Amino acid sequence: MKLTLAQVEHIAELAKLSLSDEEKARYQEQLSAILEYAERLQAVDTSAIPPTATVLPLRSVVRADEPRESMSRDDVLANAPQVEAECFRVQAVLD
Amino acid sequence: MAFHDLTIHESLDLMRHGELSSVELTQSVLERILTVDNDIQAYLTLAPEWVLDQARQADERRARGKDAPLLGVPLAIKDVICVEGLSCTCGSRILENFVPPYSATAVERLRAAGCVILGKTNTDEFAMGSSTENSAYFTTHNPWDLSRVPGGSSGGSAAAVAAGMALGALGTDTGGSIRQPASLCGVVGLKASYGRVSRYGLVAFASSLDQIGPLARSVRDVALLLGVIAGHDPRDSTSMPAAVPDYVGGLGSPDGLAGIRVGVPREYFIPGMQPEVAEAVRAAIEVMRGLGAHVREVSLPNTDYGLPVYYLIAPAEASANLARYDGVRYGLRVDGEAMWETYRQTRGAGFGSEVKRRIMLGTYALSAGYYDAYYLKAQQVRTLIKADFDAAFREVDVIACPASPTTAFKIGEKTGDPLQMYLSDVLTLPCNLAGICGISLPCGFDRNGLPIGLQILGPAFGEQTVLRAAHTYEQATEWHTSKPPIPIGGEPDEASLAETEESA
C-alpha cells in the first residue's frame, strides 16, 4: 500500500501538521510500510463480527444536572500563550 | 542497607516503629538521585525543597498519631500524569512550559495516602514509544547497562525504581508501556484492567487503551500502590464502579499455587525471540508448576494480528486526542499568518517525529474512504483478540508468558525503523486491546546480566489472582533481590547536595 506524495500532503493538512519536504518523503515511506503490514488484517473474516470500541459495558455515563463551581479564570488562563481582556487571544476564525 | 534500597513495605515498617523518618528516607533517595541520575537521566523534573517539605509534613502527621497507607514514602510520577503545580511536559516540546492546575485522581489518592512526590519521570513523547528514546528532552539509560534503553514509554519510572531513585512510581500502559520497561529494568510493573484506575488527569493518548499503573521492587509493593489508586471515579466516565479488594491481604496462601490453572500460549514464544528469554520464562513456569500450579498449553490464535490492530486503533485515537494542541489554551504557539497556519506551524514545530507519524497514521485510518478498511476492520479484529482471551480464561486462571521478545537493546539500535521498534510490544499489546490485566516481574538475567521479565495476564478485574500468582512465584525465587551494579558516575554533585542539606 504505497501512499502518494499527494496523499501524504492531504493527511498532513487534515491533521494540521506543517512538514518539510524531507519529512514528507520520509513519512511517505514509513507510513506506506506500516500500512502494508496492516494489510494482513484483510485476511481475517470479520463479516459477522461486531467492532469493539470499548471493552467496558458502560454506556452514556452522565452526572446529575447540578450546577457547581467551574475552574477559576486565573487557572484557566494560566497556561495560555496569548491572553487579552481575560480571554484566549486567537486569530480570526471567520473571514 | 541504604534506605533508598528499601521496599515500600520495609520502609513503612521502619517508620511505623520509629526507626526511620520520612525526611531521612527521602534524603537518602534524593542523594541517590544526585549521585546517579546524571548517568541514568530518569527525571525530567525534581523539586527538592517541596519534596523535603512533604517529608517533614509526613513525619509531623505520623507524630500526631495519624498513619496512612503510604505515609512518608517517596514516589515518582511519569510525566504524562498531572501533578498540580509541577511541570507536565509529556516528554514533548509542545508542552514544555505547561503546569497543570489540577492533579490526576491517582495522584490525589497517593497524596491522601501520605506519600512524598519526588518529581516527574522521563517518557517517550505522549507515551508513544518502547524505549524512551522518543522523549524530546533526552533518553533515559538502563541502570543495568547505561548503553541500553530502559524500555518505554515508562522508561523513566522503571529506571528510577530499579536504581533506587524512588521506592515506587506511577507509569502508564497503552500497549505495554509499564510491563515492557519493568521487564527490561528488572522491576515489577502492573497494568490493571481497563476501567480499574481513573484516567482523570492522565494526558490522553488512546482513550480505549490507556491505564495508569504502579511500578515497584516487589509484588507486595505494587499491590499496595494499586489498592490506593484503584476505584471508581465520577470524573472519569470510563471508570468502572467495581469494588476494590484488599490486594495486599489476598497475596499469600499456605497452599502456594495449588489449584491455580496456568495457561502457556504457544503463540507468545515467537521464532526470532531471544532464546535466553524463552528459556528463563519456561523455567519460571516450571517453578510455578513446582508450587502446585496446573500448567497447560493454550492457544490465542489471533495474537499475530495484535500489532496491526493496535497500530491502527491507537494512532486513530491519538489523532483525535492530540488535536487539542493548537497553541490556543496551553502549550507552544508558533504564529502563522492566519489561524490554520498557526496550527500547522505550532504542531509541526512542537511534535516529534514518532508523534507526527502516529497522528498521520491515525488520521488516514479514520479518513473518508479508508475508515471501513482500516479503523473499523481493526476494531472487528480486536473483538476476536478479546474473544481469544475470554475463551482461554474459561480454561485457565492466568496466562504466563514473556513480557518482551528481547532484553534491553542498545540505544539507537531500533530508531531507524519504526516497525522494528513496534515489534518490541507484540507480547504486551493484546492485553490492552482486550482490556484485561497483566503484570511483569523479574525471572532471570541473560548472559550480559540484563533482566528478563515474566508476564502474568489475568481476566478483566482479576488482579487479585494475578498478584497472588506473581507474589507466590516471586517469594520462591531470588531474582527480585538483585540490584543493578551501581554506584555509577562517582561522587554526588556537591553543590546540589549542600542545597538539599540546608533546606532539611
3-class SS letters over B253-264: CCCCCCCCEEEE
Per-residue pLDDT at B493 exceeds 70: no
Residues of chain B in contact with residue A87, where contact means CB-CB under 8 angstroms, are none
Specify the pLDDT at position B485.
87
* Mean pLDDT of all residues in B452-468: 98
> Would you call A54 and B238 a contact, using CB atoms and an 8 Å cutoff?
yes
> Would you call A91 and B380 a contact, using CB atoms and an 8 Å cutoff?
no
Per-residue pLDDT at B274 exceeds 90: yes
Alpha-carbon gap: B341 to the closest alpha carbon of chain A (Å): 8
Specify the pLDDT at position B255.
86
Residues of chain A in contact with residue B351, where contact means CB-CB under 8 angstroms, are 17
Taking CA B87 as the corner, what is the angle to CA B195 and CA B134, rounded to the nearest 5 degrees? Answer: 70
Report the candidate in B73, B187, B191, B185 with the shortest Cα–Cα distance to residue B127. B191
- What's the distance, CA B353 to chain centroid? 22
Alpha-carbon gap: A73 to the closest alpha carbon of chain B (Å): 11
Domains of chain B: 3-295+400-503 (3.90.1300.10), 304-381 (no CATH)
Q: Which of A 36-95 lie inside 8 A of B, CB atoms? A: 37-38, 40-42, 44, 46, 49-56, 58, 61, 63, 71, 75-76, 78-82, 88, 90-93
* Mean pLDDT of all residues in B335-349: 97
pLDDT band at B254 (very low <50, low <70, confident <90, very high): confident
Per-residue pLDDT at B492 exceeds 70: no
Report the candidate in B351, B345, B309 with the shortest Cα–Cα distance to residue B126. B351
Specify the pLDDT at position B150.
98
Report the candidate in B162, B181, B170 with the shortest Cα–Cα distance to residue B403. B181
* Mean pLDDT of all residues in B326-336: 97
Report CA-CA distances (Å) from A49 to A41, B216, B380, B384.
Answer: 13, 39, 6, 8
Per-residue pLDDT at B496 exceeds 50: no
Q: Is A15 on the interface with B (CB under 8 A)?
A: yes
pTM score, two decimals?
0.96
B170-211: pLDDT as tens digits: 999 999 999 999 999 999 999 999 999 999 999 999 999 999
Per-residue pLDDT at B109 exceeds 90: yes
| Pairwise CA distance, residues B103 & B164, whole Å | 25
Cell of B380: 472487528
Number of Cβ pairs < 8 A linking chain A and chain B = 165
Per-residue pLDDT at B498 exceeds 60: no
Alpha-carbon radius of gyration of chain B: 21
Residues of B labelled catalytic = 78, 153, 177
Alpha-carbon gap: A31 to the closest alpha carbon of chain B (Å): 7
Per-residue pLDDT at B112 exceeds 90: yes
Report the candidate in B431, B174, B414, B402 with the shortest Cα–Cα distance to residue B306. B431
Per-residue pLDDT at B357 exceeds 50: yes
Specify the pLDDT at position B487.
58
SS (H, E, C) B278-318: HHHHHHHHHHHHHCCCEEEEECCCCHHHHHHHHHHHHHHHH
- Test the B interface: residue of A9, A16, A29 with most B CBs within 10 Å: A16
Task: Please state the ipTM of this predicted complex.
Answer: 0.96
- Closest CA in chain B for residue A73: B101
Per-residue pLDDT at B502 exceeds 60: no
- Closest CA in chain A for residue B351: A17
| Pairwise CA distance, residues B200 & B231, whole Å | 12
Minimal Cβ distance to A12: which of B323, B360, B377: B360
Specify the pLDDT at position B260.
96
Specify the pLDDT at position B256.
87
CATH code of domain A5-43: 1.10.20
> Would you call B347 and A15 a contact, using CB atoms and an 8 Å cutoff?
yes
Q: Is A24 on the interface with B (CB under 8 A)?
A: no
Residues of chain B in contact with residue A81, where contact means CB-CB under 8 angstroms, are 327-328, 330-333
The dihedral sign for the CA sequence B53, B57, B63, B67: negative
Alpha-carbon gap: B118 to the closest alpha carbon of chain A (Å): 23
Residues of chain A in contact with residue B341, where contact means CB-CB under 8 angstroms, are 18
- Test the B interface: residue of A1, A8, A9, A17 with most B CBs within 10 Å: A17
List the domain boundaries for chain A: 5-43
Minimal Cβ distance to A18: which of B194, B344, B419: B344
Specify the pLDDT at position B119.
98
- Give A11-74 as a DSSP string: HHHHTT----HHHHHHHHHHHHHHHHHHGGGGGS--TT----S-SS---S------------HH
Taking all residues of chain B, what is their mean pLDDT, rounded to a whole number? 95
Q: Are B141 and B404 in contact (CB under 8 A)?
A: no
Residues of chain A in contact with residue B378, where contact means CB-CB under 8 angstroms, are 38, 41
Per-residue pLDDT at B501 exceeds 70: no
* Mean pLDDT of all residues in A21-44: 94
Specify the pLDDT at position B488.
53
Per-residue pLDDT at B499 exceeds 80: no
Per-residue pLDDT at B42 exceeds 80: yes
> Would you call A15 and B363 a contact, using CB atoms and an 8 Å cutoff?
yes
Q: Are B209 and B313 in contact (CB under 8 A)?
A: yes
- Closest CA in chain A for residue B332: A81
pLDDT above 70 coverage of chain A, percent? 99
Alpha-carbon gap: A60 to the closest alpha carbon of chain B (Å): 8
Residues of chain B in contact with residue A30, where contact means CB-CB under 8 angstroms, are 357, 418
